[in-house]
Structure 1
Amino acid sequence: MNHGDRLLALVRALAAELKPGAGDFSALGLDHRLERDFGLDSLARVELLARIEREMGARLGEAALAAETPADLLRLIGDAPWPNVPLTSAVAPAPTPGNFVAPPAEFATLTAVLDWHVRHQGERIHIILLGEDGREDAISYARLAAAARAVAAGLLARGAPPGSRVALMLPTGLDFFAAFYGVLQAGCVPVPLYPPARPAQLEEHLRRIAGILANAGARWFVADPRARAFAEALSGKCPTLAGIVTVAELAAPVAMAPMPTLAAGDLAFIQYTSGSTGDPKGVALTHANLLANIRAMRQAARATPADVFVSWLPLYHDMGLIGAGMGSMVVGFPLVLLSPLAFLSRPVRWLEAISRHRGTLSAAPNFAYEICANKLTDSELTGLDLSCWRMACNGAEAVSPVTLERFAARLAPYGLRREALAPVYGLAECSVGLAFPPPGRGPRIDRVARRALADEGLAQPVGDDLPGAQAVPGCGHALPGHAIRIVDAAGRELPERRVGRIQFRGPSATAGYFENPAATAKLFDGDWLNSGDLGYLAGGELFVTGREKDLIIRGGHNIHPQELEEAVGRIAGVRAGNVVAFPATDPRAGTERLVVLAETRAAAAAHARIRAEVERLAVELTGLPADEVVLAPPGTVLKTSSGKLRRAACRTAYERGELLRRPRSPRLQVLRLLRDAAIVRLRTALRRAAGGLWGFWAWTVFALLAPPFWLLIALAPTLALRRAAARAGARLALAAGGILPRVTGLENLPDGGPAIVVANHASYLDGMALTAALPARFAYAAKQELLGHPLSATPLKRLDAAFVERFDTARGVEDTAALEARARAGDSLIFFAEGTFHEAPGLLPFRMGAFLAAARAGVPIVPVTLSGTRALLPGRRRWPRHSPLAVTIHAPLIPAGTDWHAALALRDAARAVILARLGEPDAGYDDYLI
């Protein structure tokens, strides 16, 4: 029997085991799909790879998890190592923890911590990378720092401005860390992205990533060479991208530029949740946030440089990047790192790495512990010694008490102590960690009355053997320096053992979501942040009962889906971990319907039994039957890249009738993506061409109209005629370009007597916009330097502008007195109170001249907000871009006196009115100048 026949026999046998009585799989061949045709999902693939290794002697690598057909696997088997071909492996020396020294706590940034390591222990091993071929690569602090500096130099050579966002889509390895720290050293902000897990999910994944890149305003995309085609498909959807590069291209030799100086409050990176879709929520975290969180976790876990952290967690995920990656940097312990695919292809590798490298710390979501408890054979576990493992953190998703006990019992013969298991709680909005149990205590399981918990929100303790008890694992106390409280829907704090919304605060907490003020507003309740989770406190310890948005309210009952999902997952024929309970709107009943979606490989004949069992469990656990039980094939339940259930997405697909629709083939998805990208590029090109044509037209109009109106202003015999000519020319020019400003509030201008208009300043076109919008009776207060330019000096003089000195203090005081005199004499003046403008959005501080003149002359101030001129002709640019203009004239402000304090009050009031209307940030309120 050749390799192909042997492989097909294994695949068919496994499929038959998973779907007994479903039919004859002998008709399926090498080119049929593993998931769609054979029904093998990700967990079934783990079992298949184990059988291939055991029965065919071929140890497949991480690429096998992405294989779509047995033919793909067969090609990989041809390249795999066989028992009679010994592996040559360069094995890194085991860490020697005693040689590591913890960096002082005085450093304010991650890059400063790395610099300290390089200066004091540069050759010490920071990371040991475990390759799938058995090789180990030891990375010292000095080697990492050199690679990061090369990346930083490459970014600076390409003109990456400080603060610009740089997207990273890189596999676990030196390149990721070099890129991450290199982006930081260049003064930019890294945005880690998760790669597409499977070709069949490419189209949906692209939509999510495109939304994230657009929200982040990413300027550069650093991708692995294998992901470059994927990144290219994204470029058409992300107009801010200036380029797509690999780490090797960035690290090419270039002239070293000075690295920017970073501060504790600088943005360190933006963390997007793997479920981010149409409304991406990127958690903005500063260096101060991250260092505070890591140092608090170090204290709670009693971590020292003598520890060894072993991790397979993805580096785009908070627990893998911050807890393991940055934690090893800040605390000073070595990090033994393997890729997520290495774990999924052979889960025992995680435990082997802990045993071999004497790992003391490790963390994973609940599903990883479940796999190890149920899928590993005695032969795989033989020889392991896990007695070194002192803290096994279980977090990032709902923690199952059943999994905790299974894992502890399964690995107890191999040295694992139950006391090492530590359910923890955290969230991206608090960097990563929020609550930790005491090390060495073991899990604390609270057994409470299920009905009282669901109907009254009361965590009432009951005996272990009482029917109807619900087990809730404790996640420990708030990290040092942090606080947790439980509140009701109105925000009132609840007593212990009352279920409510979990809120927190502390130095690790984010200031908000990047460029998403609406989501940020929902995040905060005063100085407390909403976690989105539900739970209760008992003895100060946190017990999490579910997600607030996942709560199902049906017939007056509050149903938390997690326990029902776990129970349904234990039914014979149902795929554990692939069950979702969610609400569906029922407008006729005025309540929510309970829908249970469960993946199954069972034959149709078994579906009635499974549905009946689901109904029984629903009544038993919730007191109410399910309204609908949907049994679906593997791959139907939607999950995030980190394995979390996407209940809201499942609900949306259910309500749209798309839940059981088969995905398009990967080839068709790629063609659709390329088509969409081409359409986006074409539209972008057309918009740019139209913008260029409009800019050319605008300059043509200006060139045609400026000379005759300049002559009219210069030669007209009276001031009234000259001002009327200026207004007519401005209106004609703006109207010809289709941008005549929309003016509101003209009634706020005083009918008789003088007034002083103060406006924000954003562009060279502000004067033209105001001239077109306001009556022809105002004179401008212009800077003295304009007198040196004949083309501007002549019309300004003829329009009776008042010239002021900005830099000579004595002369400036004289000019203010002259302005006061003109106001007293009945002149109406226009001031750009900022005195200058910048390209970046933001209202600058106001100078005092206009307000002193108004107060001393007893003349009202009229605030005016100019909108759109910054977009029309920003900064020092010369080529305009079409933008609608608006001029808002606010109610006049009457001076309350004639002294300095009255002028200050006028300034503050006028600036507040303009800032509220402008919609731009406050760019400073100090260092005001006269």
Structure 2
Amino acid sequence: MARCDETRHTQEAEALKHRLLDVIDTLVRETQPRRGADGRPTLDARLDRDLGLDSMARSELLLRLEDAFAVQLPESVLMADTPGELLEILMSVRGAVPEAPSVAPPPDLASVEGAPDAADSLNAVLDWHLARHPDRIHLHVYGSDSTPQTLSYAELERGARVIASALRRRGVSPGDRVALMLPTEPDYFVAFFGILRAAAVPVPIYPPARPAQLEEHLRRHGRILTNAGSELLITVPEARRVARLLRAEAPRLATIVTVADLGEPSDTGDAEPPGASSLALLQYTSGSTGDPKGVMLTHGQLLANIRAMGERLEVTSRDVFVSWLPLYHDMGLIGAWLGSLYYAVPLVVMSPLTFLARPRRWLELIHHHRATISGGPNFGYELCLRALDRQGVQGLDLSCWRIAFNGAEPVSPRTMQRFAEGLAHCGLQPGTPMPVYGLAEAAVGLCIARPGRGLALDRVEREAFMARQEARPVHGREPALTFVNCGPPLPGYALRIVARDGSELPERHEGDIEFRGPSSTAGYFDNPTATRELFDGEWLRTGDRGYIVDGDLYISGRVKDVLVRGGRNLYPYDLEEAIGRIEGVRKGCVAVFGHLDPESGVEELIVAAETSIDDPARRDTIVQAIRDVTVDIVNIPADAIRLVPPHSVLKTSSGKIRRAATAELYRSGRLGQGAAPVWRQALGLATKAGTQRARQYLRWLGEHLYAAYAWGVCGLGAALLCLLALPLPRLTWRWRVAHHVARLAAWLAGIRLERRGVERLPLRAPCVLVANHSSYLDALVLTATLPRGFRYLAKAELQRRLLPRLMLTRMGALFVERFDPRQATRDSQRVFTALEGGDSLAFFPEGTFHSVAGIDDFHMGAFVIAAQSGVPVVPVALQGTRAVLRGREWLPRPGKVKVSVGEAILPTTSGWAEAVRLRDATRSFIIAESGEPDLRAP
């Protein structure tokens, strides 16, 4: 009997093994079609190096195994390195009934009045909460089971105080950098704030995905620790066994401790609390091991970005945030945790590993906690969709979810559309998914739309964009490129698009994206070279390319060849160097680049390596070695490895790898086909260069010829105005002639005028017209558009020039002194007198304009005059003049300009409060109709 049982057990294990290998073999062939017939997987094969399964593929494998064997597998399956280890896990859980997911009931938390607006540091933010609601639950941290650990503000503070005391006892001084390498668990939050309470600077580092990789993982992080000058690392107990190795890689690292080591109570006194200008965080770009760049962020910069994001997204303590994002990444650390901390938003946290194992769990927590805010990189949405294809959406109510942000890597419109459509039956609103854009150099957020707008796309002509970098809209079915709208810059921030020569580009022209704002980093820690490269005057280079339309940003690509995979930046330089050391590979002749899969939106990792070896067996050995090195260096396998003949990988004249050009050869199927004869190459290069130069010259010539023509039209219009209008005895007659001359000049210059709401203008009664100011053309456009006359208010400096003084005076302009208070008072009286005499006035309340799109503060003069005189204010929104003649440039372009006239706003009283009401109502209309962002939005 015992022998029969043993035989049956052996047969079951053998059948289990074959079914397991079948599932793995099917997945490998689906995800790695370029591998060819490499044979059936074995129990000893490495999932990453031998079979090419990355973290997303492992998550898919987990789902398939659960379907195939009707079991619920533990998260440890993601740690398995071989099919043999997977078999052991399957044997241990076979026969187990899958558990129904459950979570503890969330507490009912009252809303919090106000926010820590006066706080100048993260420490002060926590103090604000401790003074008002110390027992309020701040964190729900989910581990592998269904019951979360919770942390109130008081519990976070008690743990942080203990850590801070222990750090000071170990010699940590204010400003010292303390490295933090912990998984998503309560200890992470306590340790992070313990470092801040010690007035030190946290340096988050991502932990290893699997314990077996710990040694190599820490070796690669030695450069980061060295650059940061960290003398102490708080990490997991397993790291102690490699302490000697780590100290060899990072000589300044003196101490490696765990949170438990720091848990001994002591009283060393409080550190001097940090201020707004104190360094709060070093944010290292994930994967940057060759030349570590630690973004320096102060307490004030972090708070400025958190406040701007919270205001744009209308965050309150009634929101609930669910996050699986890594805490070493700016989106998870600053956007999710520190943002939730500031606004008293309950934060529900699950580890990235849990998400990879159970993507549906993310949605279940949103459903259960009635979360309103959550999101992640595009691959997270794609992974979730794959899980829902199998597990369905039954039992999910996502009607509470108002903000589903997608950022940190390229956003796939197809993924977002499928996600919105697939979860519509669960109550997900169409406007909930929203692409966002940010970078560590701005803290985290830079461009975010208001909630509810949803996914907005721009289809542009492919040829115009590829050849001339012009984003011309496509409305038909012709071939087009599609780009995602990432929204306008946050309040207080500004963007610009620049050409390679540094000149600023107009709307719908692609170039390098630069920004500035209150959270702009001062640079990279102890890296002056990289810091110099970051700045372009007062602007910071993002390293990305894109274009702007109506103030909104569209991302088109990256300046550098950084790959983004699973929310991590993968830098090709170290990997290329390591692959170049493999025997048989030509050193310095390796290109690593990304290839975006149009179906999944995931960027594939491609390796092209030159070799002169033809023997198939030796080539297979080289490919296997490249797989091994790739996993060692970047922790994920390559999606495709191409061995190509010598001189296939393109280089510059100075010997640098031309990754983008090599990638284009790969996409077109021409990589490795061999070089054309020298004469043909030379002829092709000369032809291409000549064509490009001709296009550039023709473009330059066309722009300047048009500019000369347009200014000639304006000059002719001014001459006609002087000859036909200025001699007329009545202002109304002069205005009527000026109106027709301006319309003719605009038509001849190719400026298409569109009018809306002109019938709302009072026909005869006096009024105060208020318009936004974005170009020198604004007055011309108003004159050409409005059917009745207005007296413009002009700055007194124009009186000093004969021709402007003559023309403006005859056209009824009122000159106003801006700098002499006494003269300004007399000028104001003249304005009142004009209104009393029945004249209407036209104001540009911003006073001046900028090259950056946006509505600035309004001066109060126009509204005080309207309130005191009892005349209505007529808001007028101008859209398009900035694109026709940008900023203070003198190079006009043809284009469309829209003039929208709002309903007249009547004053009810004559006081200051009424003037403020008139201003706010006018500004709201102009912001809504101008298509430009509010630079001072609350």
Specify whether residues 95 and 232 from structure 1 end up closer, same or farther in structure 2 by C-alpha distance, changes over 3 A only.
Answer: farther
Match of 1:225?
A: 237
Match of 2:772?
A: none
Match of 2:463?
A: 451
Matches within 5 A, 1:492-571: 492-550=503-561, 565-566=595-596, 568=597, 570=599
**Over residues 194-235 of structure 1, what are the superposed CA-to-partner deviations in whole Å (9 max), with x where a residue is unaligned?**
122356766764443111000000010000123433555312
How far residue 85 of structure 1 moved from its aligned partner, in angstroms, is 8.8
**Over residues 92-132 of structure 1, what are the superposed CA-to-partner deviations in whole Å (9 max), with x where a residue is unaligned?**
43143534445321001111111221221111110111121
Find out whether 1:483 has 2:494 as its counterpart: yes
Match of 2:328?
A: 316
Aligned pair partner of 1:399 in 402, 411, 419: 411
- Write the distance in 2 (CA, Å) between the matches of 1:126 and 1:485: 38
Deviating more after overlay: 517-526 vs 219-228? 219-228
Native 8 Å contact 2:181 2:234 kept in 1: yes
Native 8 Å contact 2:156 2:189 kept in 1: yes
How far residue 466 of structure 1 moved from its aligned partner, in angstroms, is 1.7
- Write the distance in 2 (CA, Å) between the matches of 1:230 and 1:415: 50
- Write the distance in 2 (CA, Å) between the matches of 1:583 and 1:77: 38
- Write the distance in 2 (CA, Å) between the matches of 1:478 and 1:208: 35
Matches within 5 A, 1:111-150: 111-150=123-162
Secondary structure at the residue paired with 1:460?
Answer: coil
Structure 1: gaps spanning 5 or more residues: 553-560, 586-603, 605-628, 660-930
Specify whether residues 503 and 29 from structure 1 end up closer, same or farther in structure 2 by C-alpha distance, changes over 3 A only.
Answer: closer
Native 8 Å contact 2:50 2:627 kept in 1: no
Match of 1:193?
A: 205
Specify whether residues 581 and 470 from structure 1 end up closer, same or farther in structure 2 by C-alpha distance, changes over 3 A only.
Answer: farther
Secondary structure at the residue paired with 1:579?
Answer: strand
How many residue pairs get aligned? The number is: 600
Native 8 Å contact 1:150 1:182 kept in 2: yes
Name the Cα RMSD after superposition. 3.9
Aligned pair partner of 1:54 in 67, 72, 76: 67
Native 8 Å contact 1:264 1:286 kept in 2: yes
| Counterpart AA for 1:565 | H
Deviating more after overlay: 530-539 vs 100-109? 100-109
Secondary structure at the residue paired with 2:261?
Answer: helix
**Over residues 107-162 of structure 1, what are the superposed CA-to-partner deviations in whole Å (9 max), with x where a residue is unaligned?**
01111111221221111110111121222112111111111111101101111122
- Write the distance in 2 (CA, Å) between the matches of 1:277 and 1:287: 26
Aligned pair partner of 1:45 in 58, 70, 74: 58
- Write the distance in 2 (CA, Å) between the matches of 1:642 and 1:480: 38
Secondary structure at the residue paired with 2:512?
Answer: strand
Find out whether 1:11 has 2:21 as its counterpart: yes
**Over residues 540-584 of structure 1, what are the superposed CA-to-partner deviations in whole Å (9 max), with x where a residue is unaligned?**
0001111112399xxxxxxxx999933x554xxxx9725257999
Specify whether residues 84 and 456 from structure 1 end up closer, same or farther in structure 2 by C-alpha distance, changes over 3 A only.
Answer: closer
Match of 1:432?
A: 444
| Counterpart AA for 1:96 | D
How far residue 633 of structure 1 moved from its aligned partner, in angstroms, is 7.3
- Write the distance in 1 (CA, Å) between the matches of 2:37 and 2:389: 29
How far residue 10 of structure 1 moved from its aligned partner, in angstroms, is 2.4
Specify whether residues 482 and 11 from structure 1 end up closer, same or farther in structure 2 by C-alpha distance, changes over 3 A only.
Answer: same
- TM-score of the superposed pair, with normalisation by structure 1: 0.59
Specify whether residues 32 and 463 from structure 1 end up closer, same or farther in structure 2 by C-alpha distance, changes over 3 A only.
Answer: same
Native 8 Å contact 1:569 1:579 kept in 2: no
Matches within 5 A, 1:721-800: none
How far residue 269 of structure 1 moved from its aligned partner, in angstroms, is 0.9
Match of 2:280?
A: 268
Matches within 5 A, 1:820-899: none
Native 8 Å contact 2:55 2:636 kept in 1: no
Specify whether residues 654 and 52 from structure 1 end up closer, same or farther in structure 2 by C-alpha distance, changes over 3 A only.
Answer: farther
Aligned pair partner of 1:305 in 317, 321, 339: 317
Find out whether 1:351 has 2:363 as its counterpart: yes
- Write the distance in 2 (CA, Å) between the matches of 1:88 and 1:19: 32
How far residue 27 of structure 1 moved from its aligned partner, in angstroms, is 6.8
Native 8 Å contact 1:360 1:391 kept in 2: yes
- Write the distance in 1 (CA, Å) between the matches of 2:89 and 2:243: 25
**Over residues 290-334 of structure 1, what are the superposed CA-to-partner deviations in whole Å (9 max), with x where a residue is unaligned?**
000001000111111111111000000000000001011001110
Native 8 Å contact 1:473 1:544 kept in 2: yes
Match of 2:743?
A: none
- Write the distance in 2 (CA, Å) between the matches of 1:534 and 1:630: 35
- Write the distance in 1 (CA, Å) between the matches of 2:637 and 2:134: 37
Structure 2: gaps spanning 5 or more residues: 1-10, 564-590, 611-615, 617-622, 642-648, 663-938
How far residue 384 of structure 1 moved from its aligned partner, in angstroms, is 1.0
| Counterpart AA for 2:484 | P
Native 8 Å contact 1:41 1:634 kept in 2: no
- Write the distance in 2 (CA, Å) between the matches of 1:641 and 1:285: 28
Secondary structure at the residue paired with 1:234?
Answer: helix
Specify whether residues 154 and 443 from structure 1 end up closer, same or farther in structure 2 by C-alpha distance, changes over 3 A only.
Answer: same
Find out whether 1:182 has 2:194 as its counterpart: yes
Specify whether residues 291 and 141 from structure 1 end up closer, same or farther in structure 2 by C-alpha distance, changes over 3 A only.
Answer: same
- Write the distance in 2 (CA, Å) between the matches of 1:384 and 1:88: 12
| Counterpart AA for 2:272 | P
Specify whether residues 454 and 108 from structure 1 end up closer, same or farther in structure 2 by C-alpha distance, changes over 3 A only.
Answer: same
Find out whether 1:214 has 2:226 as its counterpart: yes
- Write the distance in 2 (CA, Å) between the matches of 1:126 and 1:263: 24
Aligned pair partner of 1:152 in 145, 154, 164: 164
| Counterpart AA for 1:491 | G
Match of 1:890?
A: none
Secondary structure at the residue paired with 1:436?
Answer: coil
- Write the distance in 2 (CA, Å) between the matches of 1:440 and 1:641: 37
Matches within 5 A, 1:23-102: 28-77=41-90, 83-84=96-97, 91-102=103-114
Match of 1:723?
A: none
| Counterpart AA for 2:160 | A
**Over residues 255-301 of structure 1, what are the superposed CA-to-partner deviations in whole Å (9 max), with x where a residue is unaligned?**
34223221111010100001212211000100001000001000111
| Counterpart AA for 2:20 | L
| Counterpart AA for 2:359 | P
How far residue 464 of structure 1 moved from its aligned partner, in angstroms, is 4.7
Aligned pair partner of 1:361 in 373, 377, 391: 373
Find out whether 1:577 has 2:602 as its counterpart: yes
Specify whether residues 294 and 646 from structure 1 end up closer, same or farther in structure 2 by C-alpha distance, changes over 3 A only.
Answer: farther
Specify whether residues 452 and 291 from structure 1 end up closer, same or farther in structure 2 by C-alpha distance, changes over 3 A only.
Answer: same
- Write the distance in 2 (CA, Å) between the matches of 1:428 and 1:24: 43
| Counterpart AA for 1:550 | D
- Write the distance in 1 (CA, Å) between the matches of 2:632 and 2:640: 5
- Write the distance in 2 (CA, Å) between the matches of 1:646 and 1:51: 23
How far residue 471 of structure 1 moved from its aligned partner, in angstroms, is 0.3
Deviating more after overlay: 363-372 vs 304-313? 363-372
Match of 1:292?
A: 304
| Counterpart AA for 2:115 | P
Deviating more after overlay: 484-493 vs 252-261? 252-261
Native 8 Å contact 1:66 1:198 kept in 2: yes
Specify whether residues 643 and 526 from structure 1 end up closer, same or farther in structure 2 by C-alpha distance, changes over 3 A only.
Answer: farther
- Write the distance in 2 (CA, Å) between the matches of 1:654 and 1:42: 32
- Write the distance in 2 (CA, Å) between the matches of 1:208 and 1:562: 19
- Write the distance in 1 (CA, Å) between the matches of 2:624 and 2:84: 32
| Counterpart AA for 1:105 | D
- Write the distance in 2 (CA, Å) between the matches of 1:354 and 1:332: 18
**Over residues 596-637 of structure 1, what are the superposed CA-to-partner deviations in whole Å (9 max), with x where a residue is unaligned?**
xxxxxxxx9xxxxxxxxxxxxxxxxxxxxxxxx999979969
Deviating more after overlay: 134-143 vs 265-274? 134-143
- Percent of counterpart pairs with the same letter? 48
Native 8 Å contact 1:638 1:646 kept in 2: no
How far residue 359 of structure 1 moved from its aligned partner, in angstroms, is 1.1
